[in-house]
């Protein structure tokens, strides 16, 4: 039995999220269905680095699966992509030691959130960028992001319904990348809580519009209360960009 590590990309628009659910189309279910077909009806479990919500995209989701088949690693993407739907792509597959675990071995992740800063909607970006037609003070947003760097308890920036107890995380980088009307906010950290990036974006946008002062980030962190942070930005602007090991 050989363990394989795969990097996959998907358009989250047509999915109810990554993880298998009783109802709704999911990325994991599509992958497992194709692997079962390749393995002549034998179920194959796919483990991801983490779950993504409905509408969230991925450019670098990492998975692992085990297989007894003598298929060269470089041929797995060809075999999988020939059967997968067009909104999922297997970018690469490599052999790994059986101790490798896509989720538990992950040392960090990069997420990106894409905003369309335009008063006119773009039908081609409606599922891939959150249109925010209000003037933003990027200087204030950069200042606010500085308070978020480092190791903190991010309870205020986590969805209340999470079951995770330890909400201490380390954010290593927050970067603002602008190309015309497209603004991408890049987050790199050792891990992220449920809805954390989307709540961070929603709060930073309130700073950008002047509804909050940059230094309010300190009080929000100290409060450890989801109610004091900003709104949760929509899912369709979020991308799981890369997972680090």
| 50 occurs within a structural domain | yes
C-alpha to C-alpha distance for 127 and 134, rounded to whole angstroms: 19
Active site residues: 53
Both 133 and 220 in one domain: the answer is: yes
Both 140 and 35 in one domain: the answer is: no
Residues of the chain with pLDDT under 70: none
SS3 137: coil
Name 57's Cβ contacts closer than 8 Å, sequence gap at least 6: 10, 11, 12, 13, 128, 236, 238, 239, 240
pLDDT digits (tens, 9 = 90+) for 5-35: 999 999 999 999 999 998 899 999 999 999 9
Distances (CA, A) of 114 to 13, 22, 154, 210: 15, 30, 22, 20
Q: Phi/psi zone of residue 180: left (φ > 0), alpha (ψ -120 to 50 degrees), beta?
A: left
SS3 233: coil
Give pTM, 2 decimals. 0.94
**CATH number, position 52:** 3.30.70.580
The candidate with the shortest Cα–Cα distance to 155, out of 225, 219, 229, is 225
Q: Which of the listed residues 68, 96, 124 is the one where a domain comes to its end?
A: 96
Both 34 and 124 in one domain: the answer is: no
pLDDT digits (tens, 9 = 90+) for 142-171: 999 999 999 999 999 999 888 888 999 999
| 192 occurs within a structural domain | yes
**CATH number, position 185:** 3.30.70.660
Which residue range(s) make up the domain with 58?
2-96
C-alpha to C-alpha distance for 230 and 17, rounded to whole angstroms: 23
Both 78 and 127 in one domain: the answer is: no
Q: Which of the listed residues 42, 74, 96 is the one where a domain comes to its end?
A: 96
Work out how many domains the chain is built from and give that number.
2
C-alpha to C-alpha distance for 16 and 5, rounded to whole angstroms: 24
Both 81 and 152 in one domain: the answer is: no
Both 182 and 216 in one domain: the answer is: yes
For strand 57-67 and strand 108-116, is the pairing parallel, antiparallel, or unpaired? unpaired
């Amino acid at each position: 039995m050989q363990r394989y590590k795969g990097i996959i990309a998907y358009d989250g628009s047509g999915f109810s999220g990554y993880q298998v659910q009783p109802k709704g189309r999911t990325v994991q279910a599509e992958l497992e269905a194709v692997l079962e077909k390749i393995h002549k009806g034998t179920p194959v479990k796919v483990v991801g680095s983490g779950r993504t919500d409905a509408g969230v995209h991925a450019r670098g989701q990492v998975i692992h699966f085990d297989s007894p088949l003598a298929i060269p690693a470089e041929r797995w993407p060809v075999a999988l992509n020939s059967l997968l739907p067009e909104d999922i792509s297997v970018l690469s597959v490599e052999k790994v030691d059986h101790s490798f675990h896509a989720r538990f071995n992950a040392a960090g992740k990069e997420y990106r959130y894409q905003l369309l800063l335009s008063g006119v909607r773009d039908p081609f970006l409606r599922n891939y960028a959150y249109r925010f037609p209000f003037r933003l003070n990027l200087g204030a947003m950069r200042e606010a992001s500085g308070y978020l760097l480092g190791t903190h308890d991010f309870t205020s920036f986590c969805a209340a319904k999470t079951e995770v107890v330890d909400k201490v995380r380390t954010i290593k980088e927050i970067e603002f990348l602008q190309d015309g009307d497209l603004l991408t906010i890049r987050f790199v950290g050792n891990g992220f809580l449920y809805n954390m990036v989307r709540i961070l974006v929603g709060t930073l946008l309130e700073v950008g519009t002047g509804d909050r002062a940059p230094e309010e980030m300190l009080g929000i962190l100290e409060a450890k209360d989801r109610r004091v942070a900003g709104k949760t930005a929509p899912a369709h602007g979020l991308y799981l960009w890369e997972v680090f090991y």
